[in-house]
């Protein structure tokens, strides 16, 4: 079964940009061999990650990610079956300098998930919005020279 997972976590204080870039490079290499697609956002000391792939691969990966010392306060935002991947062909895209739309979306998601009374429907819509804003942010990046 194909599914999408979205989570957020706080980036550990000892983790800097170089280590985040290295993490992304390693994830890209691994993901390409096991059929996982997605994007990693590092902004304002938060990680947000969208992962898509087969459940049999994502479930053990998620457990491994939860135990990683480079972040803490892991929160699963979305875990649902999907018909097709929105990130097909993206082994792992790293976004560290997001456009304003993505920053605004992340602020709204943080606020919504920090409130205990935010409905599940609103939370799911915010996650879907995050997916589309990530796709748009990457599409807007200039092609490498």
Indicate the SS3 state at residue 98. Answer: coil
Tokens standing for residue 115: 């409130």
The residue that leads in pLDDT, 8 or 119, is 8
Q: What is the pLDDT of residue 13?
A: 95
The string of pLDDT tens digits covering residues 72-131 is 999 998 999 999 888 887 878 888 877 777 788 788 888 887 877 778 888 788 888 888
Better-predicted residue by pLDDT, 63 or 91: 63
φ, ψ (nearest 5 deg) of residue 102: -70, -40
Where does residue 115 rank: exposed (0-12), middle (13-18), buried (19+ CB within 10 A)? exposed
Of the pLDDT bands very low, low, confident and very high (cuts 50, 70, 90), residue 143 is very low
Using one digit for the tens of pLDDT, what is the confidence trace for 91-106?
788 888 777 777 887 8
Quote the mean pLDDT of the chain: 85
What are 15's two structure tokens? 């983790």
Joined together, the tokens standing for residue 67 give 């135990």
Contact residues for 77 (Cβ-Cβ < 8 A; gap 6+): 6, 7, 8, 109, 113, 123, 127
Query: Model's pTM, two decimal places?
Result: 0.84
pLDDT value of position 142: 42
């Amino acid at each position: 079964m194909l599914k999408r997972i979205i989570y957020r976590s706080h980036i550990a204080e000892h983790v800097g940009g170089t280590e985040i870039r290295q993490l992304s490079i390693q994830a890209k290499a691994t993901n390409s061999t096991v059929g996982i697609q997605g994007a990693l956002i590092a902004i304002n000391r938060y990680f947000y990650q969208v992962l898509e792939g087969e459940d049999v691969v994502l479930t053990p990966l998620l457990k491994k990610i939860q135990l990683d010392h480079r972040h803490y306060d892991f929160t699963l935002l979305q875990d649902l079956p999907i018909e097709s991947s929105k990130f097909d062909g993206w082994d792992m895209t790293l976004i560290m300098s997001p456009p304003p739309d993505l920053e605004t979306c992340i602020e709204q998601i943080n606020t919504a998930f920090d409130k205990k009374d935010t409905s599940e429907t609103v939370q799911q819509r915010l996650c879907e919005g995050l997916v589309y804003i990530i796709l748009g942010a990457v599409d807007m990046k200039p092609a490498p020279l």
